[in-house]
């Protein structure tokens, strides 16, 4: 059996073009969603999968109706195939019931992996360049040079701040940030 799936991102869009094409392709039932491709919760798609039986084919107007990115599309198609469903796209001529369709799907999987690897390489290269320029990743520290000087003065003033917890409590930073800047050796040195 053929089950059709149509999706639009906003209520201002219409599924009519998709549903007409799916009906013309012989879909016995058509399921629809009006949800952004970014959302993973697609009730229409879930209903289609509940209705379908092993060996059935899910037909879409275009592959982008199933996934928001190549890696998302590959994951969705793999999940459908694991349930015993075939996938067919009308515009791209993609059909996993054919040898060519299976080849294309495997090619998509390799491309998605390549895309992930490239992103990882670019991220690592950017971090190396940033480190060479003296920039570190992560959230900027709240422990500014002015606060460091203030904390040093407080640590030296053992009468006004007899306990380390008094110093930490007087500063607008957390305990972890404090100890990251002032390890025990440095504290002993400042406390005299």
**Residue in the structure block whose two tokens are 């890696």:** 71
Residue 14 is given by DSSP the state: -
| 170 has catalytic annotation | no
User: Which is it for strands 2-8 and 57-60: parallel, antiparallel or unpaired?
Assistant: parallel
Integer CA distances (angstroms), 146 to 91, 95, 132, 150, in order: 62, 64, 26, 6
Q: Is-contact 96 83, C-beta < 8 A?
A: no
| CA angle 152–157–158, rounded 5-degree value | 120
- Closest to 57 measured CA to CA, from 86, 23, 82: 86
Catalytic residue among 9, 23, 69, 170: 9
Active site amino acids: 9
């Amino acid at each position: 059996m053929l089950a059709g799936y149509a999706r639009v991102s906003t209520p201002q869009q219409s599924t009519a073009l998709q549903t007409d094409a799916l009906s013309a392709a012989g879909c016995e039932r058509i399921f629809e969603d009006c949800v952004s491709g970014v959302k993973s919760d697609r009730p229409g798609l879930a209903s289609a999968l509940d209705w379908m039986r092993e060996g059935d084919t899910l037909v879409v107007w275009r592959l982008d109706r199933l996934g928001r990115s190549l890696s998302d599309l590959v994951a969705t198609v793999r999940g459908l195939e694991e349930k015993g469903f075939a996938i067919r796209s009308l515009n791209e001529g993609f059909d996993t019931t054919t040898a060519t369709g299976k080849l294309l799907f495997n090619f998509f999987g390799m491309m998605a992996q390549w895309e992930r690897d490239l992103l990882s390489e670019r991220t690592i290269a950017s971090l190396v360049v940033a480190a060479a320029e003296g920039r570190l990743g992560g959230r900027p520290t709240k422990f500014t040079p002015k606060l460091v000087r203030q904390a040093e003065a407080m640590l030296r003033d053992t009468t006004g701040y007899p306990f380390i917890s008094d110093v930490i409590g007087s500063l607008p930073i957390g305990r972890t940030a404090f100890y990251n800047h002032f390890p025990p050796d440095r504290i002993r040195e400042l406390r005299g």
